[in-house]
Amino acid sequence: METDYLIVGAGAVGLAFADTLLDQTNAHITIVDRHGKPGGHWNDAYSFVTLHQPSAFYGVNSMPLGQDRIDQTGINQGLYELASGPEVSGYFEKVMNQRLLASGRVSYFPMSDYLGAGRFVSLLSGKETEVHIRKKTVDATYFKTSVPSTHKPKFVVEPGVDFVPLNELPHLWKRSQGMPKHFVIVGAGKTGMDAACWLLASGADPDTISWIMPRDSWLLNRRKTQPGIDFFDETIAGQADMMEACALASDVDDLFDRLEACGVMLRIDPTVRPTIHRYATVSTGEVAQLARIKNVIRKGRVSSISPTKVVLDGGEEHFGKDTLFIDCSATAVEDSPAVPVYQGDLIVPQMIRIPQPAFSAALAAYVEANYEDDATKNGLCGSVPLPRTLEMYPRAVLGNMMNQMAWGQDPKLRDWIRESRLDGFGKVIAAISPEDSARMAVLKKFRQFAMPAAANLTKLIPPS
C-alpha cells in the first residue's frame, strides 16, 4: 500500500498530529498502533484517572473535549473540568471515527506492531504489510508512556505479596480474601497521588495508609493553569509572577521558593523540601487531602517487597498481615534525550511547549505542512525535555520561552496559535482592552521581566 505519512502510535500525540496535518494538507495518512482502540495509554489507565490540566488543553485541535464546565464539587471545585479516563477514551474513538476515518484520507491499523522500514504486522493474523511512504514517517511513540497495569516494577516482588496496580482498587469488593487492613502506596508521582485521593474519598482511614515517597515533588498549582478570561488574574498574572521569579532568583532553590511564594508551585508537606519537579499539576484541594496521610516513608527507592517487609535504599519497613501494596511506580514518560523533531524523512514529535503534548504535536504538524526545510522547522520547534532534576527546570522554562519568542516573530504561526483551541492563552491576551488598566499592568509586568528572566535562566542552567 502507499501513503504520504505513516504515523506510528494512535495516542494523543499521534492523533493530534494527524488531525492538524489533515487540516493543513491534502495528504493521505496511515496510522499503526498496537492497541485495539485509539487513545494509546488511556486504554490501559485506571478507571478513576483524570487529566491533570483542564480538558480545554487536551485532545486534537479540531474537536473540543468536554463542555468547558466549572466543577461544582470535589477536590477540583471552582476550576475547569478534568476529563476522566473513560471520557478521554470515548473522545479519541470519536476523533478516529468521525474526524480522521470520515475524511477518506486516513487508514487505521489497530492491533498492529510496527517493524520499521515501512513494515507492520497484524498481531492477530500475523499478516505483514509493506507501506510505500511517499513523504515521512512520524514516530509518535517517543515518550514511551507507561502505566502501572502494563509496566514491570524495577524492584523484586516476592511470592505471596498482595501487590496490585492501582487499576484494581475499585474492584476490591470482589476479593475472596476480604478487605485489606492496611494500604501501602508504592510511588510518589501523580499516580500515587491519585491512589491516595481515591482511597481517602472512598472512605479509607488515613491512618491505614502508608505512602512510600522516594522523593517529594514541587507541584504546579492548577489554579494558575486555567483557560478563559475569568481566570486572567490567576493564569496570566501567574505567568507574570513566574517571569519575575525567574528574573530575580539567585539560584534554583531561590527560584522554587519564589514560585511557591507567588502560588505557582505547591508542596504536600511544608516541612519537607521537594527535590524533584515533573510538572504534576494539582489543586489546593488535592494537597489538603494528601496531607491527611501522615505515615509517609522517605527512605529512598524500593529494592524488594515481601509479604510483611519492604527493603528500601535507606532501611526497612515492616507491615502486618492483610497489607495491600499498590503499585504506582510506573514512569509515565521515559527520560529520553531531546532530539531534533524533523530529521529528513522522519518526524519525532516531542514537547515544544512543556507540559502540553497535544498542543506540541498539533503545532509540529502545522509547521511540517507550512514550512520548507528542516532547519527552519527545528528552529520553530525546539524540543523541551522533561526536567529530571530541579537543576534542569530552568532549561525547560527557557526552552518554552525561546520557542514562544520564535512563534511570536512569525505572523502566520502566531495567528494559528491564537486560534488554536489547544493554546488557551493567546485569545485571552488578545482580548484585553487597552482601557483595562489593571490587566494591561499585568501584561506590562510580564513583558518587563521576560528578557531579564531569559538572561537569568541562562545563568541558572548548570554546565553540560
Query: What pLDDT is stored for residue 337 in this prediction?
Result: 83
Q: What is the mean pLDDT of residues 409-418?
A: 95
Q: Which tens digit of pLDDT belongs to each residue from 16-57?
A: 999 999 999 999 999 999 999 999 999 999 999 999 999 999
Query: What pLDDT is stored for residue 302 in this prediction?
Result: 97
pTM: 0.95
- Give the cell for residue 342: 524533523
382 falls in which pLDDT band (50, 70, 90)? very high
Q: What is the mean pLDDT of residues 330-356?
A: 90
283 falls in which pLDDT band (50, 70, 90)? very high
Q: Is the peptide bond between 349 and the residue preceding it cis, with omega within 30 degrees of 0?
A: no
Tell me how far apart the alpha carbons of residues 38 and 16 are, in angstroms, rounded to a whole number. 12
Q: Per mean pLDDT, which range of 64-68, 116-120, 335-339 is the poorest?
A: 335-339
Query: What pLDDT is stored for residue 220 in this prediction?
Result: 97
pLDDT above 90 (res 277): yes
Q: What is the mean pLDDT of residues 250-260?
A: 98
Query: What pLDDT is stored for residue 319 in this prediction?
Result: 95
CA 390: distance to chain centroid? 18
Sequence-ordered list of residues with C-beta below 8 angstroms from that of 266, at least 6 positions apart, any chain: 218, 219, 220, 221, 260, 282, 284, 287
HEC per residue, 144-177: CCCCCCCCCCCCEECCCCCEEEHHHHHHHHHCCC
Query: What pLDDT is stored for residue 297 in this prediction?
Result: 98
Query: What pLDDT is stored for residue 213 in this prediction?
Result: 97
Count Cβ atoms within 10 A of the Cβ of residue 81 and give its class: 0-12 exposed, 13-18 middle, 19 or more buried.
buried
Q: Per mean pLDDT, which range of 215-229, 288-302, 318-332 is the poorest?
A: 318-332
177 falls in which pLDDT band (50, 70, 90)? confident
Query: What pLDDT is stored for residue 147 in this prediction?
Result: 76
pLDDT above 90 (res 139): yes
Query: What pLDDT is stored for residue 331 in this prediction?
Result: 78
Q: What percentage of the chain has pLDDT greater than the value 90?
A: 91
Q: Hey, how many other C-beta atoms are within 10 angstroms of the C-beta on 23?
A: 16
Q: Which tens digit of pLDDT belongs to each residue from 151-165?
A: 889 999 999 999 999
Q: What is the mean pLDDT of residues 57-73?
A: 95
Q: Per mean pLDDT, which range of 41-55, 142-156, 441-455 is the poorest?
A: 142-156
Query: What pLDDT is stored for residue 127 in this prediction?
Result: 97
Which DSSP string do the residues of 98-159 spell out, in sequence order? IIIGGGTSEEEE-SEEEEETTEEEETTT--EEE-EEEEEEEETTTT----TTTS--SSEE-T
pLDDT above 90 (res 309): yes
Tell me how far apart the alpha carbons of residues 73 and 109 are, in angstroms, rounded to a whole number. 40
Sequence-ordered list of residues with C-beta below 8 angstroms from that of 437, at least 6 positions apart, any chain: none
Query: What pLDDT is stored for residue 448 in this prediction?
Result: 97
Which residue is associated with the grid cell 525547560? 396
pLDDT above 80 (res 132): yes
370 falls in which pLDDT band (50, 70, 90)? very high
Query: What pLDDT is stored for residue 455 in this prediction?
Result: 98
Q: What is the mean pLDDT of residues 366-381?
A: 97
Q: What is the mean pLDDT of residues 128-143?
A: 96
Tell me how far apart the alpha carbons of residues 56 and 352 are, in angstroms, rounded to a whole number. 18
Tell me how far apart the alpha carbons of residues 208 and 229 are, in angstroms, rounded to a whole number. 43
- Taking CA 131 as the corner, what is the angle to CA 128 and CA 132, rounded to the nearest 5 degrees? 150
Q: Per mean pLDDT, which range of 194-208, 329-343, 353-367, 439-453 is the poorest?
A: 329-343
Q: Hey, how many other C-beta atoms are within 10 angstroms of the C-beta on 230?
A: 12
H runs (alpha helix) in 202-251: 232-248
Residues facing residue 121 across a β-bridge: 113, 128
Mean pLDDT computed over every residue of the chain: 95
Q: What is the mean pLDDT of residues 102-111?
A: 98
Closest CA to 128 of 256, 32, 226, 21: 32
